[in-house]
Structures are given as structure tokens and as C-alpha cells.
Amino acid sequence: MTTVGLSAWGAYVPRLRLQRKAVTAANAWIAPNLAGKSKGERAMANWDEDALTMAVEAARDALGPDDDRSHVDAVYFASTTAPFADRLNAGVVSAALALERSASSADITGSQRAGLTALAQALSSVKAGAARHALVTAGEHRRARAASALELDNGDAAAAFVVSGEETVADFLGHGALTADFVDHFRGSDSEFDYGWEERWIRDEGIIKLVPPAIHDALKAAGITGEQVTHFCFPSTFAGMAANLARVCGLPAASVRDNLAAMAGEAGSAHALVMLAHALEEAKAGDIILAAQFGQGAEALVFRVTERIATQRPARGVTGSLADRKEESNYLKFLFFNDLVQWDKGMRAEKDNKTALTTLYRNSDMILGLVGGRCTETGVVQFPRTRISVSPNKSTVDTQEPYRFAERKARVLTWSADYLTFAMAPPNHYGMVDFEGGGRIFMDITDVEPGDVDTGLAVRMVFRIKEVDERRGFKRYFWKATPDRSA
């Protein structure tokens, strides 16, 4: 295969945006030095979101609403905050997207450049013929100590790309990488938070010395000069860092992209991909995009935008996700959602949330993929899928075929706002959801507040955390309804 590149992309930024001034005001008594970081907002994951759920949403944005995803034959999931240390997170992504079991999968982690590393590996795999359509998705949900600078700098987000040799919107031109055990920060296997080193050392001895060689190698492999770069994507929490790199590497000053710090924060290993996705949304045919990221060395990738960019766009992308926002000024909610304070959850939360792993496996397509059934004789749609059809006039046996609900339009039929049961964000909203084309599911409703839900509300499905088994450290995932604000 001579040409390989990006054929689709998507992104996801949580709707909640924590106002930085709320954080600095709450911590002014103990950390007045943070006042300089009070401008703007950072993306804040809801309590039922994590790196994996966000990566699934970004992948859905990239793949579109088509239920037939049999063309995807490889999945890469990149994150340094994956929910499982010893469970294939990419396998959960694959199941949530209802991909074929024959698709290969891999987790890429251990460095802030893991997102670009995963994309580089996918490009190499497709170019070598090991895969035809590879899905790369990266999500990050980084925790930081309260009253720290990192708490304000971070942001939760995800991005995804489909790599193939067909109908590309951006052709891959070159790759450069450098590996060095330069420890700017680290998090041990038994640690909750990152430990960072001195900033000037990281800037002067780390980024400025380690990133340019990777960029130069990528440009050389692409057969272009720095002056030809139209968009330069480099995430960094250090002000002016990308501009300094551009100057050192001979890139046009105008090519330096906004790192979205003021409106989203930095999403760790996913952020270079988020910036790349954002660049594609604003690029035109012929533009050259250079994406680089620092982390135990550096990674750099170069792309040329094709004519298909004019017609191939995700439904939401970075732009749509950033526009769908809700200001959050309750700093305590952020602390609670991120398990940064111990609080009394009450007696109703005192239950054993042990997951029956045998049941999870046997019903994986239903639980993780939201796959129900459609009777091939009567056309009746139902959830869950059973041997006997629920058709009132013809209860056929063993006639159901898989029917996926995740991409179907739906509306709330009945609902309740429950203050009695335990909920991380009370009240607990749930109800009966009626799907276009048939089928009803009783499910949770998320990303809402009192007064948001009513009968007839248009909703869409989102992959979220259902419950957490704190005793065993296991997260249980399922689908929930959320208001469809595009309806």
C-alpha cells in the first residue's frame, strides 16, 4: 500500500466546564499563588465518565451512526489513566462499539505521548497490510491533588481517528520519534497522583532538546521543510512553549495552534490527538499538519490534507463538543466526582456491587454494546434479546437477529427523579426510553438536573459507568440516555 492516512476523525469533551476562578477562590486561603491561573475553564468529566467512556464517545463520533462497523479490523486505545491495569481496555472499547471479535486490539500507555505513539503504530500497521481500517482512540481523565497547579491545568477529553488507505482526509507523510528516559513527572503503580519535577529543567533540558530532533526526522521523512507547515499542534502547559519550538524548528509562527487551554485544559496523552482533530476541522486541502508531543522523548507525525476534507466531517468533533458546554462553579462537586474527599454516602450506598463476570461475558453484546433483538419473521424489536419473541400476536422461537440500539434516536416515555436511592449527582433520574423503529429500555438518564427531563424529551445513548465495585476495584459499564441537544 503506497498511500495511508486518516479517513475519519472524532472527538469528545465533557459538557461540564469547571470555572477556574471557582477553584482559585476556594483555595485562596491556602494557595494564593494560584490566582494567576484563575482565567478560563477546564473540561470536567461527570462522575460516570472516565478515560474509557470518553474514548468510546470520540470513536462513535469518528465512525458515525452506521451500525455496520465490520470494516474496522484493529483497535488501539491510548491513555495513562485507563480504568484497568490488568484488563484489556481496548477490548471494552471494541465491545461497546460492537466491533467484530476478529479485530485485533491493544492498549498503549506509559507516556504522555502515548496517543501519538498509538496513531503511529496504527499507520505502520495499515501501511504494512496487517490491518485495513484501524481505529485509534485516546482518552484521559487525570486526577491531581486539590489546590495544585495541575488541577487547574488538566482537562478531560478524548479523540479518535480511523486509519486506512481509502478515502483519506489527510495523507500520512512522515514520522519521527526519540526515546529518552527523561523524567519530567511520574506516577508509581501504588500512587494516586503524579509527582512533577522543576519546570525550568523540563523546558530547557527536556522539551527544547528532545522534541526538535523528532520533528526534524518527521519533516525529513515527509520530504518537506519547516516553512511548509500550515498547522503545528504541540500541547504544553508552559506558556509560549509551542511558539519557542516553532522558532527552533524553523516553523512559521502563524502555524502554531491554540492548545485549547483556556476552554478545555490539557488532556494528557490524548491532547495531541485532540489538537490534531481540531486542526482538521479548520484545515483546507493542501495544508500540512505537524503534530508532536513530549514524553520520555518525543513523537512527531506529518500529514497533508486532501480534497475530501471539504465533505468529510464528524457530527460533533472538537468544535461541536466545545460548543456543547455547561458552566460548573461548584468546586466541591468536582472534588466529590474525582474522589478527592471522603464523604458520608449514607446507608443506601452500603451494598455489595460485585459483578458476576460470567453473566457479563455471556451477555457482553447486550451490556456493553446495547444490542437487542429483532424478530426476522415479525420485525418486532426488543431489548433484551430472548429466544422467544415478545410479539403479542406471534411468539416465535429462535427467530431474533442482533439489533443495535446505541445509534437509534429515542425519546423519554416515562421518568422519575429519585432522591431516596443513592446517587452521585442527586436526584437519580431514570425512566422508560422509547426508540424510533421500536423497542423500549428502562435506563438511567445522565447529564441532567431537576427540571431538564420531561416526557417526549429527545435523547441519545452514551456509554457510561453504571456502578463501581470499590471493594474489588471493578467498574461496571452500561448505556444511559442523555438529552439530544442537536434535536
Binned at pLDDT 50, 70 and 90, residue 346 comes out as confident
Within 10 Å of residue 58's Cβ, how many Cβ atoms? 33
pLDDT in tens, 72-126: 999 999 999 999 999 999 999 999 999 999 999 999 999 999 999 999 999 999 9
**DSSP string computed for 135-199:** EEEEEE-----TT-HHHHHB--EEEEEEEESSS-SEEEEEEEEEE----SEE--TT-SS-EE--H
Residue 353, pLDDT above cutoff 90: no
Contact between 286 and 35 (Cβ < 8 Å) = no
Contact between 42 and 264 (Cβ < 8 Å) = yes
The pLDDT assigned to 487 comes to: 66
Identify the residue whose cell numbers are 481505529: 135
Q: Let me know if 161 is exposed, middle or buried by CB neighbors in 10 A (0-12, 13-18, 19+).
A: buried
- Side chain identity at residue 26, one-letter code: A
Grid cell, residue 335, equals: 472534588
Binned at pLDDT 50, 70 and 90, residue 402 comes out as very high
Binned at pLDDT 50, 70 and 90, residue 1 comes out as low
Q: Quick one: CA dihedral 367, 370, 376, 378, positive or negative?
A: positive
Closest among 155, 119, 57, 134 to 289, alpha carbons compared: 119
Most distant pair of Cα atoms in the chain: their distance: 75
Closest among 261, 65, 49, 62 to 139, alpha carbons compared: 49
What lies within 8 Å, CB to CB, of 110 at 6+ separation is 80, 296
Question: In the chain, count of helices (H) and strands (E)?
Answer: 13, 22
Binned at pLDDT 50, 70 and 90, residue 230 comes out as very high
For residues 353 and 318, the model is more confident at 318
**Mean pLDDT calculated for residue range 153-162:** 98
What are the distances in angstroms from CA 50 to CA 127, 129, 198, 258? 32, 33, 29, 25
Residue 145, pLDDT above cutoff 60: yes
Closest among 321, 344, 322, 341 to 331, alpha carbons compared: 341
Binned at pLDDT 50, 70 and 90, residue 66 comes out as confident
Report d(CA 378, CA 399) in Å as an integer: 9
**Distance of alpha carbon 452 from its chain centroid, rounded?**
25
For residues 347 and 219, the model is more confident at 219
The pLDDT assigned to 232 comes to: 98
Report d(CA 170, CA 285) in Å as an integer: 9
What are the distances in angstroms from CA 94 to CA 73, 91, 103, 107, 188? 10, 5, 8, 12, 28
Percent of residues, the chain, with pLDDT higher than 90: 93
**Mean pLDDT calculated for residue range 181-191:** 94
Report d(CA 267, CA 159) in Å as an integer: 10
Residue 257, pLDDT above cutoff 70: yes
Q: Quick one: CA dihedral 318, 322, 324, 325, positive or negative?
A: positive
pLDDT in tens, 193-220: 999 999 999 999 999 999 999 999 999 9
pLDDT in tens, 268-296: 999 999 999 999 999 999 999 999 999 99
Backbone angles phi, psi at 328, to 5 degrees: -125, 120
The pLDDT assigned to 291 comes to: 98
pLDDT in tens, 463-482: 999 999 999 999 999 999 99
Binned at pLDDT 50, 70 and 90, residue 380 comes out as very high
Binned at pLDDT 50, 70 and 90, residue 10 comes out as very high
Ordered domains of the chain (ranges, CATH): 5-337 (3.40.47.10), 347-370+405-483 (2.40.50)
**Mean pLDDT calculated for residue range 130-148:** 97
pTM above 0.95, yes or no: yes
**Helix extents (H) in 298-451:** 317-323, 331-337, 357-362, 364-369
For residues 120 and 352, the model is more confident at 120
Q: Which helix or strand (DSSP H or E) is residue 114 part of?
A: helix 114-128
- DSSP, res 228: G
Contact between 383 and 373 (Cβ < 8 Å) = yes
Query: Given 3-state DSSP classes, what are the helix, strand and coil percentages for the chain, each rounded to the nearest 5?
Result: 30, 30, 45
Binned at pLDDT 50, 70 and 90, residue 44 comes out as very high
Give the mean pLDDT of the chain. 96
